[in-house]
Amino acid sequence: MWSRMKKGDRGPSENLGSLDKKFLWHPFSQMSDWEAEEPLVIVGGEGVYLEDVQGKRYLDGVSSLWCNVHGHGHPLIVEAVSRQSQELAHSTFLGLTHPSAILLAEKLIGLAPEGLTRVFYSDSGATAVEVALKMAFQYWQQKSPQTRRKKNFIALTQAYHGDTLGAVSVGGIDLFHEVYRPLLFHVQRAEAPYCYRCPFEKTYPECEIFCAGEMEEVVRQHAGETAAFILEPIVQGAGGMINAPPGFLSRVRKICDEFEILLIADEVATGFGRTGKMFACEHEGVRPDLLCLAKGVTGGTLPLAATLATEEIYSAFLGPRESKTFFHGHTYTGNPIACAAALANLEIFERQRTLEKMPEKIELLCRELKPFLDLRHVGNVRQAGFMVGIELVLDRASKSPYPGEGRIGHQVTLEARRRGLITRPLGNVIVLLPPLSTSPRELQEMVRITYESIRAVTESA
Ligand code: PMP
């Protein structure tokens, strides 16, 4: 509707902008800054482009917050959503079932690491995590009287798992999470494998993944009362696109096995091809006990999440006793339209051989990112597949960060927007996270605009 009203007509855009400022409260936004800026009103999406109400097109450099997979408006997903809406838009999943959810569960189990056999739906990344935490906790409560002490969790510093209170409890980003601490349950922390700013002042690879040894120590001390270790495999996204060194993830799996604690892999961001494989756990042949999926599951079109569990966990919830039930569910759990979109998303992976095309594109992206290190204020460039973080620093030698008030990342984002690229920073880290369908030419264009925007902002300041 808006796209039809927009061309050459500033009226609705200005009106929408002021209505937005009058009535809305945006997520993760300092609203006093928002109110001072002109809101960008997006009215359309096609392929890797978004279009604003003025008709200006932008490359979607963050896959609409890390969820778009095959581009906007993919006809197969549009068709599936339309068909499913006409057949059945929604019916409860409590006590009933429906074809799209069943078929999708079968597909997900077929794709996930072997040994995950059960799918529990919810509707966002945070709820997928919340479900995993509750399952892990209740599993040990029900497994045997001897395991009832296992009630706690271990998580990494810089972790991000969503914004509901359980997910915030395991989160480790002070800026986002500290204010809520009085509301949260206690969690043991192991240090993130943040090689650029190593908390142990070591250097990879000479360190031989020293942090994994320290992590093992935390597990050893607390295993008796720990239900699960939760982590974002391979890349800690919101913490600043921190990539774990090879071998870290498989060490975590080994340690969890040794000390009998569950491993929860939060693949909300890394899942569905983002790191080059369908799931990041595949890079190190790891099978978690619980796997959290969301974002890309519907190709970035509708909210849907899934927590996958092993049969061992599932069977601890069976029994004649009502109290063994997993007491969790949402009104829109397993929504048929979202499940139909997810089925279409997975079909596109097959039809377009999306994953087979990734290595070449990842290689290209890697090459294109090389010149960034020539920029005076780029301290570190991190890439895992199509997840890129470019850390800006005031001074490269001392790695001194830009002060938060200057909002350097935000300045770069605004500059990139003027040049036709949508991105969103994580503090001083510029994020580039293109849809998997991005063509080589579009990829080069995204990188070029990012480079020029960083140079324009950091070298004029
Ligand atoms: N886990 C991870 C690893 C994430 O990156 C995110 C979102 N960025 C979440 C959980 C939360 O997902 P949602 O925003 O859908 O609740």
Establish whether residue 430 lines the binding site of ligand 1, counting it when its CB lies within 6 angstroms of any ligand atom. Answer: no
Query: What pLDDT is attached to residue 316?
Result: 98
CB 302 within 8 A of CB 85: no
Q: Which alpha helices (H) appear in 201-306, and where do they start and end?
A: 210-222, 248-258
What atom in ligand 1 is closest to the CA of residue 294? Answer: 15
Token pair in block for residue 377 = 């204020």
Is the per-residue pLDDT at 422 higher than 70?
Answer: yes
Establish whether residue 237 lines the binding site of ligand 1, counting it when its CB lies within 6 angstroms of any ligand atom. Answer: yes
Query: What pLDDT is attached to residue 433?
Result: 98
What percent of the chain shows pLDDT beyond 90? Answer: 93
| Between 190 and 38, the higher pLDDT residue | 190
Q: In a mutational test of the pocket of ligand 1, which residue from 66, 160, 176 has the highest number of ligand atoms less than 8 Å from its CB? A: 160
Centroid of ligand 1 to alpha carbon of 129 (angstroms): 9
Q: In a mutational test of the pocket of ligand 1, which residue from 28, 156, 161, 298 has the highest number of ligand atoms less than 8 Å from its CB? A: 161
**Alpha-carbon span 323 to 390, nearest angstrom:** 49
| Mean pLDDT across 212-231 | 97
Give the number of other CB atoms < 10 A from CB of residue 271: 29
* This prediction's pTM: 0.96
Query: What pLDDT is attached to residue 404?
Result: 87
Average pLDDT, the chain: 95
Is the per-residue pLDDT at 141 higher than 50?
Answer: yes
Establish whether residue 160 lines the binding site of ligand 1, counting it when its CB lies within 6 angstroms of any ligand atom. Answer: yes
Is the per-residue pLDDT at 192 higher than 80?
Answer: yes
pLDDT digits (tens, 9 = 90+) for 50-92: 999 999 999 999 999 999 999 999 999 999 999 999 999 999 9
What atom in ligand 1 is closest to the CA of residue 303? Answer: 15
Neighbouring residues of 307: CB distance < 8 A, sequence distance ≥ 6: 119, 120, 122, 128, 131, 132, 135, 290, 291, 292, 293
| Mean pLDDT across 349-370 | 98
Query: What pLDDT is attached to residue 317?
Result: 98
Q: Tell me whether residue 189 is exposed, middle or buried, using C-beta atoms within 10 angstroms of its C-beta: 0 to 12, 13 to 18, 19 or more.
A: middle
Query: What pLDDT is attached to residue 13?
Result: 61
Is the per-residue pLDDT at 218 higher than 90?
Answer: yes
Query: What pLDDT is attached to residue 6?
Result: 47
CB 332 within 8 A of CB 90: yes
What atom in ligand 1 is closest to the CA of residue 127? Answer: 16
pLDDT digits (tens, 9 = 90+) for 266-295: 999 999 999 999 999 999 999 999 999 999
Radius of gyration in angstroms for the set of CA atoms belonging to the chain, rounded to a whole number: 22
pLDDT digits (tens, 9 = 90+) for 301-330: 999 999 999 999 999 999 988 899 999 999
What does the H/E/C string look like for 411-422?
Answer: HHHHHHHHCCEE
Q: End-to-end CA distance of the chain: give it in Å, rounded.
A: 41
Is the per-residue pLDDT at 3 higher than 80?
Answer: no
Half-sphere exposure of 404 (CA within 13 A, CB side): 3
Query: What pLDDT is attached to residue 12?
Result: 61
Query: What pLDDT is attached to residue 1?
Result: 44
Neighbouring residues of 177: CB distance < 8 A, sequence distance ≥ 6: 168, 171, 184
Q: Categorize the per-residue pLDDT at 11 as very low, low, confident or very high, splitting at 50, 70 and 90.
A: low
pLDDT digits (tens, 9 = 90+) for 226-265: 999 999 999 999 999 999 999 999 999 999 999 999 999 9
Centroid of ligand 1 to alpha carbon of 307 (angstroms): 13
**Alpha-carbon span 302 to 329, nearest angstrom:** 18
Is the per-residue pLDDT at 4 higher than 70?
Answer: no
Torsions phi, psi for 187 (to 5 deg): -135, 140
CB 234 within 8 A of CB 265: no
Ligand 1 atom 7 nearest Cα: 162
Pairing type for strands 387-395 and 400-401 reads antiparallel
Give the number of other CB atoms < 10 A from CB of residue 11: 9
The 3-state DSSP class for residue 187 equals strand
| Mean pLDDT across 428-454 | 98
